[in-house]
Amino acid sequence: MSVQENYEIAKQAYAKWGVDVDAAIEKLKNVPISIHCWQGDDIAGFEVNQHELSGGIDVTGNYPGKATNPEELRSDIEKALSLIPGKHRINLHAIYAETNGEVVERDQLEPKHFENWVNWAKENGLGLDFNPTLFSHPKAADGLTLAHPNEEIREFWINHCIVSRKIGEYFGKELGTPALTNIWIPDGYKDIPSDRLTPRKRLKESLDKIFAVESDEKYNLDAVESKVFGIGSESYVVGSHEFYLNYAMKNNKLCLLDTGHYHPTETVSNKLSSMLLFSEKVALHVSRPVRWDSDHVVILDDELKELALEIVRNDALDRVIIGLDFFDASINRVAAWTIGTRNMIKALLHAMLSPNEYLKQLQEEGNFTERLALMEEFKTYPFGAVWDYYCENMGVPVKEAWLDEVKTYEQEVLSKR
C-alpha cells in the first residue's frame, strides 16, 4: 500500500475518537525546533585562540568528518535540515563568531561577527537563537564565572553576557523573529562547600547587572538555565533550579529547563504544568541523560513522548520554546541531528494524535479504567502512517530513506575533510 493509502486508513482510526489528523499536521508545520549548532563540531567553535573544552562538559568519540570551519558547519546543518520536516531555528554559542583571523575576546564580540550566520539564516528562512559561552576559557579554568570571588573575572563574564544579549537582539531585528538568549554557567564546587549563600549572592548581583542593560523583548528573550551537577561540580552548583526559578519569576525572565540537568528520577515533563501556571513562556533544552547529564542523542522514549504530551494537551505550543542540546562524536553528526530532531517532531505529532480532551474528561469523571485502557491502546495506533505521510508531504525522506542520503553525504563530503 502507498503512503497515501496507509494515511487514509490511519485517519479513519483516529477520527473514531475525534482526532482531526489533517488539522494536527497543519499545526505541526508551524512548530519550530531550535537545533543546536554544536553537535556538528563537538562544541569546538571557531575562536582564533581556541581553548580546550571545559566547564563540566565532555564530548566522547572521534567519528570522521567533524566540521572545522563555519562553511563546513553550515553545509552540514543544511544537509540535516533537508532531511527534517518543517521550518526550524538554529541555536548558536558565542564561540561560533567569525572574526576573520582576528583575536576578539568574548567581552568584545559584536553583531558584525555573526553577519554570515544572519545572512545564511535569511537565505534559508531560519530563526537564530544565542548563548553566551561561559566555559572553555582561561577565565573559567577554576570552574567559576559570574559567581567568581575575583571581581575582575566576574566583570569580564558580565560584559560577555551583555554583548551576547545585544547579538541576540540583532538576530531578532534582522530575522523578524525574537532570539532566545540563554545564560548557562558551569559555576560550582567539586566537594562540599562551606558557604552556599555567598556564591549565589554574587551570581544574583551579576545577573542584575547583565539585565540592567536594556534589551527589546520584541527582538530578544532572556532565559536562565539551571543544572544539578557537572563534572568538577558534583557537590554544589551555584545556579540551581531553585535559584533560577525564583530569579526568573521575580525578574520576568524565562526559566529554561534542560532535560538532562536534574536528578535521574526527576522528569521535566512533570514540571511543565506547574511552570505554565505561573510563567507566560517556558524554554526547553531537550537532551537524553544516561545515568547522568550525558547529552545522548534524543530518542523517541517514554519521557520524550510525555514531554510532548504536556506541551500539546495543555495547549502550550506557542508558550514552550523547544530547543535541543545533545552532542555525540561517536556517530555521524549529520545523522545525530536528523535522528534527534525528527524524534522531537515525532513526539509532538504523537501527542497531537491522542484524544487528549476525552482522556481529560475521563479523569475528571474518575473513570480511571477507561483512561488507562485507552492510553495503552493508543500506543499501537497507526501513528507511523501519519508520520510517513507528513514527511512525504513536507518533501523529506520517508522512514529510514534519509539514512542513504547521509551515507552519500559522508562519502562525498565528510570523508574528504
pLDDT of residue 50: 79
Contact criterion met (CB below 8 Å) for 93 and 37: yes
Contacts of 326 by beta carbon, 8 Å cutoff, 6+ apart = 36, 39, 287, 288, 295, 296, 297, 298, 336, 340
Kindly report the backbone phi and psi dihedral angles of residue 310, in degrees, each rounded to the nearest multiple of 5, phi listed first. Answer: -65, -35
Structural domains of the chain ordered from first start = 33-346 (3.20.20.150)
The question of whether 404 is a catalytic residue gets the answer no
pLDDT value at 114 more than 80: yes
Contacts of 319 by beta carbon, 8 Å cutoff, 6+ apart = 276, 280, 281, 282
| 282 strand-pairing partners | 320
Instruction: Give the mean pLDDT of 70-95.
Output: 98
The question of whether 216 is a catalytic residue gets the answer no
The question of whether 184 is a catalytic residue gets the answer yes
Contact criterion met (CB below 8 Å) for 219 and 169: yes
Question: Within a 13 Å sphere around the CA of 120, how many CA atoms are in the beta-carbon half?
Answer: 17
Instruction: Give the mean pLDDT of 355-380.
Output: 97
The question of whether 293 is a catalytic residue gets the answer yes
- What whole-number distance in Å separates Cα of residue 345 and Cα of residue 36? 15
Location of C-alpha cell 479513519: 12
Annotated catalytic residue within 47, 258, 310, 328 = 258
Helices (H), 102-141: 115-124
- What whole-number distance in Å separates Cα of residue 2 and Cα of residue 206? 59
pLDDT band for position 48 (50/70/90)? confident
pLDDT of residue 169: 98
Annotated catalytic residue within 184, 337, 387, 402 = 184
Could you read off the pLDDT of 188-208 as tens digits, one per residue?
999 999 999 999 999 999 999
pLDDT of residue 229: 87
The question of whether 350 is a catalytic residue gets the answer no
The question of whether 222 is a catalytic residue gets the answer no
The question of whether 115 is a catalytic residue gets the answer no
Instruction: Give the mean pLDDT of 13-29.
Output: 97
Confidence (pTM): 0.96
User: In this structure, how many other beta carbons lie within 10 angstroms of the beta carbon of residue 141?
Assistant: 14
pLDDT value at 56 more than 90: no
Provide DSSP, 197-251: HHHHHHHHHHHHHHHHS---TTTEEEEEE--S-BTTBSSEESS-HHHHHHHHHHH
Instruction: Give the mean pLDDT of 154-171.
Output: 98
The question of whether 107 is a catalytic residue gets the answer no
Instruction: Give the mean pLDDT of 17-42.
Output: 97
